[in-house]
Structure 1
Amino acid sequence: MNAMTDNLNQSGLLRFITAGSVDDGKSTLIGRLLFDSKGIFADQLAAVSRSKHKRTVGDTIDLSLLTDGLEAEREQGITIDVAYRYFATPKRKFIIADTPGHEQYTRNMVTGASTADAVIILVDVSKVKLGDDGSVELLVQTKRHSTIAKLLQIEHVIVAINKMDLVNYDQAVYDRIVAAYGEFAASLGLTDVTPIPLSALGGDNVVDASAKMPWYEGPTLIELLESLSVYDESHAAPFRFPVQLVARHNGHEANDFRGYMGRIESGQVAVGDKLVVQPSGQAATVKEIVTFDGSLQSAAAGQSVTLLLNEYLDISRGDLLAGSSSPATQLKQVVADVCWMSDEPLDARRKYWIKHGTRQTGAKITKVDSILDVNTQQRHPADGLKLNDIARVHLTVQQPLAADAYADNRATGAFILIDEVTHQTVAAGMIRLDQA
């Protein structure tokens, strides 16, 4: 597909993640997708069948082992790390991220969700509390993962009501859970939500339609995934090019070659375009666009290129080249929503590194404005952060960031915070310019 002409992707690559609480069947669902779509090799299947950690009875294959790759995962029967799997159908290619359900590994779910086009949120029918008065109580992890999906602006949400075999495929139970999730999704502002009843263990409505649920007339899960449209807004967004490396000639050439290497995160660029270097504000003109295969007249989001400019400027890694008519906003004070990912709570006295695009500079959290309650979606005052907290914070940075609001540009609106002592990632953040 030509990146310059078509942003609506219905047949190419779809990235999606599974999310949910512990033992909701995420790994089993992915294993079933791979197995039924012929997305695994015979030797993989044989290895899984022989596994000493198999958690199924008799000769039944434990499909969850297709994604639980760590020894600790297989021993404990839980998912710890993010496992990526690749498979394809005649209609589409897929990258799946299987993310942990345990609350302590929510940070890994954030990692897997950061590049996803869709999320499958699994709900185990046996764990949902159905009151005699008609009330339905969803699990906290279901609400937390849905909240993160909204914060990260994942386009499509599929609610997989799993283990329908445990309630004898009862439509009434399914309808009650779907209605309850629908109310919660509305409070979040999620708009593209599609429910589906299934049994990952038995394969009902995963790849093949289930005769056990004749009341369900919608698509199977694989049919739904094949049909999702992924609109890539990055091509229409303003031009953003974080400089990764400055390329010079080898010292034996007469011409003074100086190129700026990186990946176009959004927008388009052509020879002759007027650019601005941020944060310095210097003006520049594109002289040549170089790739491994030769020079181009134009390039677009997603392409890795080397830009040559007419001017001799002081540009280095961490700078941003932007369209002169629509530059990024330069920030020394940043307001952002963050997911705290460290076991160690926030220490407001400490400095952190902020990694934004290719720029890394010092940062300090000066204020915790509020923490989001994932159950009520209300914000409450707070003066600290601990593992899995989702909060709005104020930061001061040493060097200005050329940034966009996350709502406008995921690439230049996102950042991570790094502990300067341990070098561990402590938070992932989304910049909110409208709150500055």
Structure 2
Amino acid sequence: MTQTEGAGETAESLIDRMGAQARAAATDLGFAPAEQRARALQIAADTLDARRAAVIAANARDLDFGRDKGLSPAMMDRLMLDDKRIDGIVAGLRAVAAQPDPLGAVIAEWDMPSGLHIQRVRTPLGVIGVIYESRPNVTADAGALCLKSGNAVILRGGSESFHSSAAIHACMVEGLRAAGLPEAAIQLVPTRDRAAVAAMLRAVNHIDVIVPRGGKGLVGLVQSEARVPVFAHLEGICHVYADGAADLDKARRVVLNAKTRRTGICGAAECLLIDRAFYARHGAVLIEDLLKAGVEVRAEGELAQIPGTVPAKPDDFGQEFLDSIIAAKLVDGVDGAIAHIRRYGSSHTESILTEDDAVAERFFTRLDSAILMRNASTQFADGGEFGMGAEIGIATGKLHARGPVGAEQLTSFNYRVTGDGTIRA
């Protein structure tokens, strides 16, 4: 059994202790007033705003660690915090606090001939475990969404974001304390020891669902080894399809943004599909725009003849690059694009660029990804951009939660049945 850093406590006993504390906190949160939970988030936002210098200093230590570890530029971008990104985290906390409270909401209600009145009502899931890699903002996003939905959470950040996550977590705890809520409602695993991850995946008595947020290696590990149910997406292999009826100016803006705004996030476009009709009309303009922006374009077929491109290998399609690289190929109309996405996609996000309503409808109805877009950048695949304030992740499965997982998606429901001395015949 592995000992955690500096405490002489095994990973198993650490998670067992934290899990028991989280379960007790979840019991209190289930009936804590909405105003109290919102107040905790507002105070956490104010505290983070006031402590930003300390958080940025902690992040500088993590950036040094990341450089020494040889993280890629895209991963370093994920890790980095500055004033603008802290502004975004603070705004996300305030947005979640201001949202309608999901708990107690009546999803449906009806009367039965027997005289029973039945309501389906939103309730918390209980205790959520979140395992994530280098993005320290997840500490605030996940903590906020779990608290808003009445769930306790155990956070296990990546070794790269160890100090940043701890600094942000301290602000979340300050909010809980000031609002009179149990501090164990939002806990951060205080060790880089990987054994803590394995212990969380086995903690069926304490954790109700695990949410992994990171690369293919992390998510694949969680999905293969977890005994606790999992909300996850394995990869963000996002496609942009330029249809023959696409508007050229719109297409150029969207393609460039979808790939280059931030290359290291799961909503970044990884494959560009160009209709032959679009290519016949407009030539190589989309490829040339990407090349001018410094993107390595791995092109197949005719597109590989464009100066500056690199011939694509078969495994470049279905690849999550998370870097300034994109695969590109020509397809025969929307059905060609659909066939390619069905073969290589990961059910995350796909965007069609077209002015033809019928083509767009065919794209929407014949693909089954969690997010489908029209004339919009895949970089919008984000809970904040969907009006959720923040997200705990993007779920690409089909059970319970799908797409951006916000506070509402972190609830279950029960049935509340009222009679009047009613008996069953």
Higher strand share: 1
TM score, norm. by length of structure 2: 0.31
Q: Which has the higher helix share?
A: 2
TM-score normalised by the chain length of structure 1: 0.30
